[in-house]
Each structure stands twice: as C-alpha cells, then as structure tokens.
Amino acid sequence: MNLSKIWSDNIEEFGTYPVLIFEGEEYTNTYINELSSQLAHTLMELGIERGDRVVVTMPNCPEVVIAFNGIVKTGAVVVPVMPLLQAQEIHYILQDCRPKIVLTTDMLFSKVMEAVHHLPAPPKIFTLDKNDSSRSLWKRMENASKSAPDVHIHEDDHAALLYTAGTTGQPKGVILTHKNLYSNAKAASKTAQILQLRKERVGLGVLPFSHAFGFTMMNVALLLGDKNVLLPYFEPIKVLEAIEKYKVTHSAMVPAMFHALYHHPDADKYDTSSFFVCISGSASLPKQLANDFQRKFGCIVLEGYGLSEAAPIVTATDPSKPIKPGSVGLPLPGIEVAVVDENGNRLPANEVGELIVSGPNVFKGYYGREEESHKILRDGWLYTGDMARIDEDGYVFIVDRKKDLIIRGGFNIYPRDLEELLMTHPDVIEAGVVGVPSSRMGEEVAAYVVLRRGAQATEEELIRFCQEKVAKYKSPRFIKIVGYLPKNLIGKIDKKKLREWAKEFDPAAQK
C-alpha cells in the first residue's frame, strides 16, 4: 500500500486516458505521472530527503496533483495547506512542521513570503507556474528524468501531514502513512460500485485537494479510473456549467455546497441530467436538504462520515443495501466501529455514546503532540469525540460532537436535533445551535437561523414552532434571525464563532 505507486497502478490497469480536465485542457494520466517524477528528481536535487516536510498551498489544478505525487515519490511528506488561509495562519503551520520547501503559485507567492517572515529557519519557496521566472521549478523539471526515483518507501512511512481546521484551538498536524491513505481510498472505492453502472464516468473535483476529504476522493478517482473535471474554487455557476458541458456524473461535496447549488436562482437553467450521484461528507447534511437536492437534480445523495484522523472516511452509504434515513451508512471494509460510555465501556445497539474507530486508516498521532495523541488514541482505538448510536444492523447515526453537547438542568440536548427541526420550518434554510452559560440551568439553548428570501417568520414564532415539536426543556431559549452563519473554509458551521456571538445573551435574562 504505497501511495507513490497509485498513478502507475492506475496506468497499468486502465491504460493511457485523459484523467484531468482543467480550464478546457485535458491531461493524461501518463503525462501527470511523468511530470510528477520529474518534480521528484528536482526536489531531491534541491535537498529533499525521506521524511522531510514539503508544504503545498495551491487551489485545485493539475499542478497540485503533480506536486502531491512528486513529493511522495521522494519519500518526503506532503503538507497540504488551504490556499484561502491568511498569512498568519500559514505562518503557524510552517512554524509547527518546519518544512524545507513550500510549493505554491505566483498568485499566492506574496502571501507565502509574508507567512515565512520571522521564521527561524525559513523554507525555500518555489512555484510550479509554467514560466521562466527564477522562482518556478518548471524549467528545472524539463531536464529531469521521467522515471520514478529509486526510493524504497514502506507502507508505514509518513505520507501526509494534514492540519485540522483549528475550530477548537490551534490546528494540529495529523500524521497519515501511505497505508492509512491507500487503504482508505481502496476501501472507499469498493463502496462506490454504484458508479460502475455508468460506462462513462466523469467526476467533478470541487472539494479542495488540500482538505482530507478532497485528498482521498482524488485517490479514489484514480483507483476507479475516472476522468475528473477540476475547479480551482467552488462557485455554483461554475459547477452547473461544468456538469452541463462535460456531462459530469458524480461529485463529492460538503453540505454548504449542496445548500448553495439547491438555492441558486439559475440552477434550473442548466442541463444537469447526467448528474447521477453526489456524495456528502465533512459535516452533517440536513435531511430536508438531502431530500430537496435529490428531487431538484434527480440524483442519488450518499452520505458518509469521517475525520482527518481516520484518513478520513469511516462510514459510507452503500446503495446496494437498504438506505436508512439519517444514517451515515456502514463502516468501510476493514474498519470497525463501536460506541462507548465515558468509562470506555461498550454500549448496546441504539444507545448514544462516543464513537470509536479501529482499522488500517487510523492515524499515527499528532505531529509534535504526544500527550494529545495519547488522549485520542487508546488501545488501538481512535476516540472521535463524536456522539453516535449504532443500530442492530450496524448502521451508524451521528448525533453530535461531544464538545457541542448542551446540558440544561441535567438533561442532554443535542444541537443537531434542533438544527434539523428548525430546518423543517418552511421559512428556514440554515440553523446553528449552541449552549449559553446559565447560572440557574447550567446551560441554555441559543439558535441562530437564516431565513429564505422574502420569508416573514419571527423569532417568537420559531420558538413556538420548536416547543410544539419537542419538549419545552429541549427548545431554544433564545433564537436570533441573522443574514448568514459563520463557516470555516470547508463550509462547516463554525461553532466556536457562534458561541462568541451567543455572548450577546445576558445570563441575567435567563432568570
């Protein structure tokens, strides 16, 4: 299970074919593989050795794919960094992982230069832009060998260092081995058999490859032999145009993308009849939105669950088996899951507890954070911090993040349940729920909602709506209508910022 061989394995199985389409130009798998070998030799000439970290910060494009593959061929470690991060955020990651080289683009060069400022051992910065600039490696690569370098790579060697979003503190580097990433992509490709129903399969690569979900879906596409249309960033119109022009059959997205496409006023103007399957991950997909999206676009929505520390996919919906609404599916082949109480004891079917995961995909620990690694890795199990239940058939239902649990007067309240409830109201399109400190009840429930354009619902009406559907103690004490919900770069609702917002509710008002 060597990630550096995934492109040569693809070529051996499927022959030469156009694997990527970017800005109207096609790139074959053999061309990408040869360029990545040339980059590998060039990086080694620049002093890159086994185990060194090489940061890559670029939007989705053929060059980012070449960079990832070229780095792993040297035995070095890929450190993907979201290109939308600010300079100070990139600075923190560079300071933490101490890379020898940063690969970027001309467009981002000045931001990276700002990010390396004041580092004790600043890395060298290069671009992969096709020009004669002294900072571009393109000319150097042209004279390098197109054959992979002779580097022995073991499946337990580190392949990638993926940084968490840092919504609960500073980002942490997740150490993933070749085996972690290859085995996870292989297992995920087995559950994607429904895609094999289409002879011509064209994927849409709109998830950032610098994110764990996008990184693995890129590898899944290679194992399936798919052609992929790449978009540098998510823009609803660009997505709709690509589906129509290239007859896109499938894509993997996060819920924020589903939301943007479904609510776009011009969505009906495009021919999306080729769109067959859309995979959702990274955050919970509201049931109402999943149903609406399937009806509007005539496709199947398959939800899964994962986290960076699991490389990242843990469960997926298998359409060849019964689909249970609200479930994130079954564990991928080779992965075991369980639910435990606060003492680590296994819980029976349908009881809520913390989800734990075991398998070849589980990460080796956080980079430079041994104590935090021991907290989350215990006896061969990854403690996810997610509250879940597993039914009698093995289907997993995510209830909420453990840290997001609200305890009001001794009763457990799961924000996700209330978010789902609020989104069944015809005027609500988004909802975020957090706990607010209360001297009397311990915590109270605060909800922020975004209404549909032209909707007239009031905050009082929404509180009454919740009280009519669930017990009063579970209903929000406070609701505020807002124009948007804060989100991180991958589209998850940023609960950390939402809690900051919720400080507006004076605890004295809760008496």
* CATH code, 247: 3.40.50.12780
State whether 354 and 431 are in the same domain.
Answer: no
Amino acid identity of residue 273, one-letter, is: S
pLDDT along the chain (511 residues), means of 10: 94 97 97 98 98 97 97 98 91 97 97 95 96 93 96 96 74 96 93 69 93 90 94 96 97 90 95 94 85 94 93 91 90 97 95 97 96 94 95 94 85 89 94 88 92 94 94 91 91 89 70 45
Amino acid identity of residue 407, one-letter, is: I
State whether 374 and 467 are in the same domain.
Answer: no
Predicted pLDDT of residue 198: 65
State whether 223 and 365 are in the same domain.
Answer: yes
State whether 297 and 311 are in the same domain.
Answer: yes
State whether 397 and 466 are in the same domain.
Answer: no
Instruction: Report the alpha-carbon distance of residue 15 to residue 282 in Å, rounded.
Output: 32
Q: What is the DSSP string of 107-169?
A: GGHHHHHHHHTT-SSPPEEEE--SS--TTBSHHHHHTS-SSPP-----TTSEEEEEEP--TTS
Residue 450 near residue 482 (C-beta atoms within 8 A): yes
- Number of domains, the chain: 3
Answer positive or negative: Cα dihedral of 198, 202, 208, 214.
positive
- The angle that helices 29-45 and 62-73 make with each other, rounded to 10 degrees, is 50
Lookup: tokens for 111 = 């931001």
Residue 215 near residue 243 (C-beta atoms within 8 A): no
Instruction: Report the alpha-carbon distance of residue 103 to residue 112 in Å, rounded.
Output: 9
Lookup: tokens for 401 = 């993040």
State whether 84 and 115 are in the same domain.
Answer: yes
State whether 62 and 76 are in the same domain.
Answer: yes
Closest residue by Cα to residue 198 from 281, 275, 296:
275
Instruction: Report the alpha-carbon distance of residue 315 to residue 302 in Å, rounded.
Output: 11
Largest CA distance in the chain: 74
Q: What angle do CA 319, 324, 326 make, to 5 degrees?
A: 115
DSSP 457: -
Predicted pLDDT of residue 511: 45
The predicted model scores a pTM of: 0.87
Per the listing, tokens 């085996």 go with 179
Residue 313 near residue 184 (C-beta atoms within 8 A): yes
Lookup: tokens for 222 = 């290679």
Predicted pLDDT of residue 411: 82
Instruction: Report the alpha-carbon distance of residue 221 to residue 204 in Å, rounded.
Output: 10
Question: Pairing between strand 396-401 and 381-390?
Answer: antiparallel
Per the listing, tokens 């798919």 go with 226
Last residue of a domain, one of 140, 174, 208: 174
Q: Per DSSP, which regions of 215-368 are E strands? A: 227-230, 250-253, 277-280, 300-306, 313-316, 330-331, 336-340, 353-358, 365-366
CATH of the domain at 142: 3.40.50.980
Last residue of a domain, one of 402, 419, 451: 402
Compute CA distances 348 → 315, 391, 402, whole Å.
Answer: 19, 9, 19
Residues spanned by the domain of 316 = 181-402
State whether 298 and 410 are in the same domain.
Answer: no
CATH of the domain at 491: 3.30.300.30
10 Å Cβ neighbour count for 79? Answer: 25
Q: Per DSSP, which regions of 167-292 are E strands? A: 173-177, 202-205, 227-230, 250-253, 277-280
State whether 470 and 411 are in the same domain.
Answer: yes
Predicted pLDDT of residue 166: 59
CB-count exposure of residue 404 (10 Å: 0-12, 13-18, 19+): buried
How far is CA 42 from its chain centroid? Answer: 30
State whether 304 and 341 are in the same domain.
Answer: yes
Last residue of a domain, one of 387, 402, 417: 402
State whether 146 and 192 are in the same domain.
Answer: no
Closest residue by Cα to residue 240 from 204, 294, 209:
204
Residue 223 near residue 189 (C-beta atoms within 8 A): yes
Show contacts of 204-207: CB within 8 Å, 24+ apart. 204/228, 204/229, 204/231, 204/239, 204/242, 204/243, 204/248, 204/250, 204/251, 205/60, 205/229, 205/230, 205/231, 205/251, 206/60, 206/231, 206/234, 206/239, 206/251, 206/253, 206/257, 207/252, 207/253, 207/254
End-to-end CA separation in angstroms for the chain: 59
State whether 77 and 7 are in the same domain.
Answer: yes
Question: Pairing between strand 411-413 and 406-408?
Answer: antiparallel
